[in-house]
Amino acid sequence: MRKDAAAGGGSFELVELDLASLKNVRACAAGLLAKGEFVDVIIANAGVMATPFGHTADGFETQFGTNHLGHFVLVNHIAPLVRDGGRLINLSSAGHRFSNADLEDPNFERTPYEPFVAYSCSKTANILFPVAFDRRHRGNGIRAAAVHPGGVR
Task: Report, as residue numbers or ranges, the catalytic residues.
Answer: 119
Length of the chain in terms of residues written? 153
Contacts of 120 (CB under 8 A, 6+ apart): 95, 96, 97, 98, 99
Confirm if 89 and 41 have CB atoms less than 8 A apart: yes
Whole-number Å distance between alpha carbons of 12 and 46: 17
Q: Within the chain, where are the H helices?
A: 2-7, 22-35, 62-63, 70-78, 115-137
Q: SS3 of 80, please?
A: helix
Q: What phi and psi values does residue 45 have, to the nearest 5 degrees?
A: -130, -5
